[in-house]
Every structure is written in structure tokens, then in C-alpha cells.
Amino acid sequence: MTSSPQPPTEPTEPSEPSAHSGHAHDGHGHSSGHSHSHGHGPAAPVSKHLRKVIAAVLIPFAVAVFVGMAVLWPGGTPEHERTGVGFDRQTQQAKVVSLENVDCKSVNAAQVPSSGGASAPSGGAARGAQTGECKKATVEIGSGPDKGRTFVEIVQPGAPRQLADGQEVVVAYAPDAPRDLQYSVIDVNRKLPLAVLAGIFALSVVLVGRMRGLFALIALVVSFGVLTLFILPAILQGSNPLVVAVVGASAIMLIALYMCHGLTARTSVAVLGTLVSLLLIGLLGSVFIDWAFLSGNTDDNTGLIHGLYPDIDMSGLLLAGIIIGSLGVLDDVTVTQTSAVWELHQADPSMGPRSLYRAAIRIGRDHIASVVNTLVLAYAGAALPLLLLFSIANSSMGSVANSELVAVEIVRTLVGSIGLVASVPVTTALAALVVSADRPESPAVAPASGPVRGRGRRRKR
């Protein structure tokens, strides 16, 4: 008697998109998992009541995130006078138009900076270079107000960066220097190989992931947009780096997860698990950065930032980097764990939340082991030159770990890893509760579930 009005009401449920129609058209949205034990499609929708509860939590959070972005929106990177130091240099595109071999002594190469500025030999190496064969490159400016102007660059035989005829390069411009020394080659132009590699990556993602891969690429572009248009300029304008990072990371999380995985209860659980883990990472990072007296000003780049923008809280910038760096791996862990719980429920709908948790947490333990190892090795690989310097100096492990350069990486790695480890049980527990939460409604639909189940499957086909 109650089954006849059900079909018209099913399509009006707002929380489940059309991608889930394969499981939702059997007459009862919350019972579709019982008629599909193969589990190859999207997960069955949860009850309307539970979706309302999830929406009541996530909608205010999403509104708060985007209101925060509107309040903190910087409106562009603040202007400043270039110092000509490090990355803060005026640069132009150029091209090597001719290259000839010359005697190093004839061009006084020991006193002429080699290509890149940082590779000039000194002492015995410089004297050796004077008697060797150098390269004299004529470089033509290809952009800016001096387009078409040429200058000479001497490349010494011991320089790590050797130039070739016709090579595209990047040159630095020093307007206050003498005219003959205003331009110097600082790098090669790598835009073409990088663009080709990016194209191969995008094509691979779309060919394998198809529409989902396409949405993942769009989400990646949006994430970089939030980073470059909001997070970085807002920090440069003096906003609190931690607040900006939390708001920006939350926006990236909401956009990327829902764009890639759909507006579903399953995605919402992954969002909640990621949010809890990010809060834990922020809390632990704040405590241990203060406790360990980490200033965040550890190298030339951070020193230059502090010199250009002294009002930036460098320790807050360090914490912001930890939060943003952990977000990408957290998304992977939480989505995987949520999907595991949903698939387990579809395989055996009789499993309760406790059984689902126990089964899914075993999958999570394997994920923890691999992800944490990956994270530690990634940070170790990035800091490998630094570790080699300490090894050359015969420093003890205690001395190495105590230096701020290494301590920053230790705190970054361990705080991020703790957040990853915590995300597994938190997300698994949430998913197990959510996917089982429509059971209290099952007695109300039990009289119709028997005969409708079979007809629903035939009607879908």
C-alpha cells in the first residue's frame, strides 16, 4: 500500500546526484545496497535524516570558509621595490645567438662571473681556468624594453651550466650596474620541456581516469588558483598565515573532494575526516613549533622574505606550510578509507558499524604503513643535500637533529604523520556510523522491501 507513491519521491532527494541513480532507482534509496552485492558502482545513498545531519554540519562550515575567503581576500600581491637579491630580481627572456671558444687568460675569466653567477671558480681552480679554454657566448635579449640588445657572457670550463648555440636562457637585469654588466645569464629556459611533460601528465590522467580524471585536473587547477590568488597574496599583505592557510586549505578540500568524488554522503564523510585531521595537525604544529622555538627563518629564501616583508610571522608561515603540505595526502587517506567502508557494506549489508570498523581498519593499517613511509622519505629526499653536509662535517645524529634546519623538517614530518595516522580511525569510524545509520528506518519500509526489491532491479535494467 505504501510502495506506489515511492518512485515519484525518489528523484527529489537533493543530496544524491544522478551518478548514483544506478543504485537509487530500486524504490528505496536507503535499501539499494541490499539488492546490489557486487559493489561495482557508486555507494548506496544513506537516509534522508542522516543527510540532513551531515548537511547541518558541513553547510555552515562551507559558508564560514567562503566568508573567510571574502574577508581575507587580498586583491593582488602588494607592490615593492626590487632588491636585486636572490629571486627578487628583474628577469627577461633571451637566446644564445653565437658561441665561440676563447682562451680564458685572454678574457681574464677568473674575474668574470661565469654563467649563473654562483659557479665561478676560486683559488687554484681560478688559476687553472685562466690557462684553459672558455666559451664566449653572445646573448640576445628577447623581451622587455631592451629587446634585441646583445651582451657577452663568459662560460668557464668548470662551470656546471654550459651554454649551447641557439639555447633559450633567462637573464637577470641590474639597472644600477654599468651598461656592460647590466645583464647576466642566471638560468636556462625550461618552459617547453615542462609544458610537454605537463601535457603528457594531463593526457595520461584523462585517458585512464576519463571524466573523473578530467574533474581531477580541473580541481588541481582550482587548487593552484586558490594558492596563488588567495593564500600567497593574503600572507604577503600581512594576514595571519595560520588563519589564511586554514581557510585556503579548507576551500581547496571542499572544492577538490566534491568535484572529484561527487556531492554524496560518502564524500562528506571524507571531508569531515580530513577536517578533524587538519585541526589536529594545526594544534600539534602550533604547540611544537612554539615549544621547540622554531623561528621559520632557516635559509636564504626565508631570510629574504623576512627582509622584504618584516611583518610576516615566519613561524606562522611554517605552520601554514605544514597544514597545506599535509592536505594532499590526507585527502587520499580519507577518501580511500571511506570508500573501503562503503564497499564492505555493499558486499555484506548485514554488517554493523563495529564489524565494518574492524574490517576497514585492517585496510587502514596497511595504508598507514605505506603513506607514513612515503611522507618521511619524501622529506628526507628533499633535505638530502643538507643531510650530506652534516655527514661531511661528521656531526652526531643528536647535533644534526638539534639544528633548526633539520628540526623544522622533523616537526613537519612527524606532525603531518600523526595527522595521517589519526585520520584513519577517525574517518573509518565516521564512515561506519554513517553507512549503517539508515537501519532504524528499515522497519518502516520492510513490508514493501521484499516484493519491490526484485521488481526494482528489473525496472532499472
| Distance from C-alpha of 46 to C-alpha of 30, rounded to nearest angstrom | 5
Evaluate whether 457 touches 450 at the Cβ level (below 8 Å): no
Q: Which helix (H) or strand (E) holds 69?
A: helix 48-72
| Lowest mean pLDDT across 111-125, 140-154, 166-180 | 111-125
C-alpha cell at 365: 593499517
What average pLDDT score do residues 30-36 get?
39
Q: Which helix (H) or strand (E) holds 38?
A: none
Confidence class of residue 129 from pLDDT cuts 50, 70 and 90?
A: very low
- End-to-end Cα spacing for the chain: 24
| Distance from C-alpha of 292 to C-alpha of 288, rounded to nearest angstrom | 6
Question: What is the tens place of the pLDDT at every residue in 329-350?
Answer: 888 889 989 999 989 988 888 8
Residue 115's pLDDT is 45
For the chain, the 3-state helix, strand and coil shares in percent, each to the nearest 5, are: 65, 10, 25
Residue 25's pLDDT is 42
Residue 426's pLDDT is 93
What average pLDDT score do residues 400-428 get?
87
Task: Single out the residue of 236, 365, 213 nearest to residue 308, CA to CA.
Answer: 236
| CB neighbour burial string for 141-153, b if at least 16 within 10 angstroms, e if fewer | bbeeebeebebeb
| Lowest mean pLDDT across 131-145, 227-241, 445-459 | 445-459
- Residue 354 to residues 244, 285, 360, 434: CA-CA distances in angstroms? 38, 32, 10, 12
Residue 297's pLDDT is 81
What number of CA atoms fall less than 13 Å from residue 88's CA on the CB side?
17
| Distance from C-alpha of 106 to C-alpha of 136, rounded to nearest angstrom | 11
Number of residues in the chain: 461
Q: Does the pLDDT at position 428 exceed 90?
A: yes
What average pLDDT score do residues 142-168 get?
86
Phi then psi for residue 85, to 5 deg, are -110, 135
Q: What is the mean pLDDT of the chain?
A: 76
| Distance from C-alpha of 56 to C-alpha of 44, rounded to nearest angstrom | 21
What average pLDDT score do residues 422-448 get?
71
| Distance from C-alpha of 103 to C-alpha of 98, rounded to nearest angstrom | 16
Residue 417's pLDDT is 87
Evaluate whether 96 touches 169 at the Cβ level (below 8 Å): yes
Q: Does the pLDDT at position 21 exceed 80?
A: no
Return the amino acid letter for 332: D
Q: Does the pLDDT at position 353 exceed 90?
A: no
Q: Which helix (H) or strand (E) holds 96?
A: strand 90-103
What average pLDDT score do residues 433-460 get?
51
What average pLDDT score do residues 96-118 get?
66
**Highest-confidence segment of 294-303, 402-411, 419-428:** 419-428
Question: Who has greater pLDDT, 182 or 289?
Answer: 289
Percent of the chain clearing pLDDT 90 (strictly above): 19
| Distance from C-alpha of 427 to C-alpha of 267, rounded to nearest angstrom | 11
Confidence class of residue 202 from pLDDT cuts 50, 70 and 90?
A: very high
Give the Cβ contact number of residue 264 at 10 Å. 23
What average pLDDT score do residues 179-193 get?
87
| Distance from C-alpha of 334 to C-alpha of 338, rounded to nearest angstrom | 6
C-alpha cell at 102: 676563447
- Residue 51 to residues 17, 57, 241, 265, 303: CA-CA distances in angstroms? 13, 10, 34, 7, 49
What average pLDDT score do residues 279-299 get?
88
Q: Does the pLDDT at position 397 exceed 70?
A: yes
Q: Does the pLDDT at position 203 exceed 90?
A: yes
Confidence class of residue 326 from pLDDT cuts 50, 70 and 90?
A: confident
Torsion of CA 414, 416, 417, 423, to 10 degrees: 150
Q: Does the pLDDT at position 134 exceed 90?
A: no
C-alpha cell at 251: 576551500
Residue 252's pLDDT is 92
| Distance from C-alpha of 165 to C-alpha of 98, rounded to nearest angstrom | 6
The pTM of the whole model exceeds 0.75: no
Residue 313's pLDDT is 83
Evaluate whether 3 touches 445 at the Cβ level (below 8 Å): no
Q: In what order do the strands lie in the sheet with 90-103?
A: 150-155, 133-141, 90-103, 168-173, 183-188
Question: What is the tens place of the pLDDT at every residue in 441-452?
Answer: 444 444 444 444
The vertex-94 CA angle with 89 and 98, nearest 5°, equals 135
The vertex-363 CA angle with 360 and 365, nearest 5°, equals 110
C-alpha cell at 165: 648555440
C-alpha cell at 358: 574492524
| Lowest mean pLDDT across 68-72, 310-314, 387-391 | 387-391
What average pLDDT score do residues 252-269 get?
87
